Amino acid sequence: QVQLVQSGGGSVQAGGSLRLSCTTNKLTLSNFCLAWFRQAPQKEREVVARLSSEGTETYADSVKDRFTISRDNSKNILILEMNSLKVDDAAMYYCAVDPDRSAQCGYWDGWYKFWGQGTQVTVFS
């Protein structure tokens, strides 16, 4: 059973920054499509950022130029750096792995079979 373990997150004032991390000892993350999703109350889960094995980054329009997805291959960690946070960014954030793809990473959560436990991000004005 593949478990993704998340850390980071918390509460921050609007305009502030947070960093989320995700790791596992069951997979080499650099071999697969990786993504961060989020889900706010009464809203559907949405993809925030995707990262392919070769390093192609894709972002939702709502977070472009504010969030950065990256990978530390030496530590097998997936990272989401979130800057200029807005109240609308508040949600539960999840890391995810699509073990069937390494490129052309999809936006549909159904393709991602392994998930982190979720980390709450709260942004107050």
The residue behind tokens 């071999």 is: 31
Provide the phi-psi class of 88: left if phi over 0, else alpha when psi is between -120 and 50, else beta: alpha
Report the share of the chain in percent with pLDDT over 90: 99
Q: What is the CA radius of gyration of the chain?
A: 13
Question: What pLDDT score does 110 carry?
Answer: 95
Tens digit of each residue's pLDDT (9 = 90 or more) over 65-109: 999 999 999 999 999 999 999 999 999 999 999 999 999 999 999
Confidence of residue 19 (pLDDT cuts 50, 70, 90): very high
CB 51 within 8 A of CB 35: yes
Beta bridge pairs of residue 68: 81
Question: What pLDDT score does 1 carry?
Answer: 85
Confidence of residue 124 (pLDDT cuts 50, 70, 90): very high
